[in-house]
Amino acid sequence: MLVYSCSDLIFATKIRSTAEVLQIDSRPARNLDMLQARLDQVEDGKANGPVTCVMVDLELGEFAFDLIKLAATHDAQPQVIAFGPHVMVDALAGAERAGAHLSMARGAFTTQLPELITQHGS
């Protein structure tokens, strides 16, 4: 299952709808407790498979790094992908230092989204 956290609803919808087209379950994580519950597979009546990938929008600010650290250190060992505007050079580099397996400029992330979801989300 793919878990994502985004700063804007439109981009979150893009991730969710792309995953849906690819028939891969996806769920949002709006806070650390939600991410922890997804990683721990806490039953809530919705899709609840093992988390294989966490996608984090760096425009969430410092909260993005908290999400990355939590996902990167969890026993589930999901792939952590961070993305943000290409001008956020320090944040993109910082994401990898925080534990992201991959950090990408938003344009490249958008272009590669179907492949990323197919490769890491299932």
d(CA 6, CA 14): 10
Q: Which CATH number do you get for residue 105?
A: 3.40.50.2300
Torsion angles phi and psi, residue 113, rounded to 5: -50, -50
Average pLDDT, the chain: 95
Total domains in the fold of the chain = 1
DSSP state for residue 5 in the 8-state scheme: E
Domain that holds residue 6: 2-120
In this structure, of 44-48, 56-60, 67-71, 104-108, the range with the lowest mean pLDDT score is 44-48
What is the 3 state secondary structure string of 78-105?
A: CEEEEEECCCCHHHHHHHHHHCCCEEEE
- Residues 63-122 have pLDDT tens digits of 999 999 999 999 999 999 999 999 999 999 999 999 999 999 999 999 999 999 999 987
Percent of the chain at pLDDT > 90 equals 88
